[in-house]
Chains A and B, each alone.
Chain A
Amino acid sequence: MRSKFWYVAQYEYRKHVFQKKFILAILSVPLVLAVSFLAGFIASQLDKNDAPIGYVDKAGVLSNPVPVPEEFAREDAVEILSFSSQEAATAALENGDIQAFYYLPEDYREFREVQLFFINSPGENAEGDFFDFLQTNVSVGVPENVITRVQEGFELTVRSQDGKREFSEAKILNIILPIVFGFLFTFVLTSGSGYLSNAVTEEKESRTIEMLATSMSANQFITGKVLGIVLVIFTQVVSWLAFFIAAFYGAKAAFDEEWIQSASIDLNIFLLLALVFIPAFFFFSGIALTISSTVTESSEGQQAIGLVSMPVGFSYWFAVLIVANPSSPLAVGLSLFPFTAPTLMPMRAAFGEVPLEQFLACVAILTVSAVFTIWLAARAYEMGMMQYGKRLRLGDLFRSNNNGKKA
Chain B
Amino acid sequence: MNSVKVTHVAKSFGKNQAVQDVSFEVQPGEIFGLLGPNGAGKTTTIRMLLDIFKPDRGEIEILGGKITEEKKNRIGYMPEERGLYQDIPLERCLVYFGRLKGLNNQEIHDRLGHWLEMFDLASHRKKKVKELSKGMQQKAQIIATLLHEPELIIIDEPFTALDPVNTQMIKDLLIAERNKGRTILMSTHQMHQVEEMCDRILLVNKGRDMLYGKLSEIRGQYASHAVLVRSPQEIPQLTGVLEREQVNGAVLLRLNEDITPQEVLVKIVNQGIQLDQFEIAAPDLDEIFIQVVAEEQVDAQ
Contact = CB atoms under 8 A, between A and B. Distances in A.
Interface in B72-116: 72-73, 75, 77, 79, 81-86, 88, 96-97, 99-102, 104
A122 to B, nearest CB: 61
Given A7-B100, A11-B96, A216-B72, A407 B82 contact: no
B100 A210 contact: no
B97 A215 contact: yes
A402 B56 contact: yes
A208 B51 CA distance: 16
B83 A215 contact: no
Given A15-B88, A388-B81, A405-B53, 12 more contacts: A7-B99, A210-B81, A211-B97, A211-B144, A213-B50, A213-B51, A214-B50, A214-B75, A216-B69, A216-B100, A404-B54, A407-B54
A393 interface: no
A159 interface: no
How many interface residues does chain B have, given as a range?
A: 20 to 34
B52 interface: yes
Nearest to A388: B81
A202 B52 CA distance: 18
A8 B99 CA distance: 9
Contacts, number: 75
A333 to B, nearest CB: 42
Contact of A214 (B72, B102, B104): B72
Interface of B: 11-13, 47, 50-54, 56, 69, 72-73, 75, 77, 79, 81-86, 88, 96-97, 99-102, 104, 144
A405 B69 CA distance: 14
Contacts of B86: 206
Given A216-B100, A386-B47, A403-B13, A210 B53 contact: no
Nearest to A390: B13
A42 B86 CA distance: 48
Nearest to A405: B54
Q: Which 3 A-B pairs have the closest CB atoms?
A: A207-B83, A208-B83, A215-B100
B185 to A, nearest CB: 13
B54 A406 contact: yes
A202 B51 CA distance: 22
A15 B104 CA distance: 20
A252 interface: no
A1 interface: yes
A385 B51 CA distance: 12
B38 to A, nearest CB: 17
B69 A217 contact: yes
A202 B72 CA distance: 22
A202 B75 CA distance: 24
B52 A405 contact: yes
A220 B83 CA distance: 19
Contacts of B104: 1
Contacts of B50: 213-214
